[in-house]
């Protein structure tokens, strides 16, 4: 089993008092399995993804990644986990503006010590980026920037890929094309995959779907 959450709870404090975002979430994900996570805005989908990535900590509960409870890890070990095991793709592309497309694509793989020239070349071709390797992010369309962000994550061959509304800034046709390509590439590296999306259409493309509502999975 690649990922397991056991009774994960998370609250935030506001001026009006505490808000319970997650009220005891449990789920399991095997290597190679693709899971869609849907829910209304504010339902806690992004919070759940941030907890799995070690970007935030739960109030209670366990989050097991690759057999290790990440809630017991310090910041250094969590950063290493994100370099080598967990890949992140967000709605905001988060590309490094001072690096070219080619340099952005190689960035995470270099950090992880996994830069593979042949795999990078394959990713570049399949993502349709061969003609813009020397460009900078500001010179790309939104769809191109998102493909660079996907390629940068996949270049390091992470075991678990977390995608938070990765096509939220794209039109429907571009969104469908990007997600279809992403699913093909995720399958190639046999990674576990969690996609947070508002779209039931996109969710239907994945192996499983869970709906988050009122802090609980359905």
Q: How many folded domains does the chain comprise?
A: 1
pLDDT of residue 112: 93
118-128 residue pLDDT tens: 999 999 999 99
Within-domain flag for 13: no
Within-domain flag for 67: no
CATH code of the domain covering residue 141:
3.40.50.300
Q: Dihedral through CA 169, CA 209, CA 119, CA 126, nearest 10?
A: -50
Within-domain flag for 3: no
Within-domain flag for 63: no
pLDDT of residue 201: 87
Q: Could you list the residue range(s) of the whole structural domain that residue 52 is in?
A: 29-58+73-217
90-144 residue pLDDT tens: 888 899 999 999 999 999 999 999 999 999 999 999 999 999 999 999 999 988 9
- Residue whose token pair is 């397991």: 4
- Rounded to two decimals, the pTM is 0.93
Taking residues 39-66, what's their average pLDDT? 94
End-to-end CA distance of the chain: 21
Burial class (CB in 10 A: 0-12, 13-18, 19+), 37: buried
pLDDT of residue 169: 77
Within-domain flag for 125: yes
State residue 198 phi and psi, 5-degree precision: -85, -15
Q: How far is CA 114 from CA 7, 36, 56, 67, 117, in A?
A: 34, 28, 26, 22, 10
- Residue 80, pLDDT > 90, answer yes
Within-domain flag for 78: yes
How far is 12 from 7, CA to CA, in rounded Å?
A: 17
Q: Report the chain's mean pLDDT, rounded to a whole number.
A: 93
How far is 81 from 73, CA to CA, in rounded Å?
A: 10
pLDDT of residue 155: 94
Q: How far is CA 3 from CA 29, 37, 80, 104, 195, in A?
A: 5, 15, 17, 28, 14
pLDDT of residue 156: 94
5-41 residue pLDDT tens: 999 999 998 888 889 999 999 999 999 999 999 998 8
Within-domain flag for 145: yes
Within-domain flag for 100: yes
State residue 215 phi and psi, 5-degree precision: 80, 5
């Amino acid at each position: 089993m690649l990922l397991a959450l056991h009774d994960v709870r998370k609250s935030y404090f506001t001026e009006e008092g505490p808000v319970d975002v997650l009220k005891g979430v449990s789920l399991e994900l095997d290597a190679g399995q693709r899971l869609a996570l849907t829910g209304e805005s504010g339902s806690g989908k992004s919070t759940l993804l941030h907890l799995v990535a070690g970007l935030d900590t739960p109030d209670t509960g366990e989050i097991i990644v690759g057999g290790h409870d990440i809630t017991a890890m310090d910041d250094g070990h969590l950063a290493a986990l994100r370099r080598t095991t967990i890949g992140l793709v967000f709605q905001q592309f988060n590309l490094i503006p001072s690096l070219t497309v080619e340099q952005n694509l190689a960035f995470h793989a270099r950090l992880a010590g996994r830069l593979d020239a042949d795999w990078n070349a394959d990713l570049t071709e399949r993502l349709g980026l061969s003609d813009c390797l020397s460009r900078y992010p500001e010179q790309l369309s939104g769809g191109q920037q998102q493909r660079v962000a996907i390629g940068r994550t996949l270049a390091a061959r992470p075991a678990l890929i977390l995608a938070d509304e990765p096509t939220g800034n794209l039109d429907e046709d571009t969104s469908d094309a990007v997600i279809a390509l992403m699913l093909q590439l995720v399958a190639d590296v046999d990674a576990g995959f969690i996609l947070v999306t508002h779209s039931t259409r996109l969710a239907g493309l994945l192996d499983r779907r869970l709906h988050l509502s009122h802090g609980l999975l359905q």
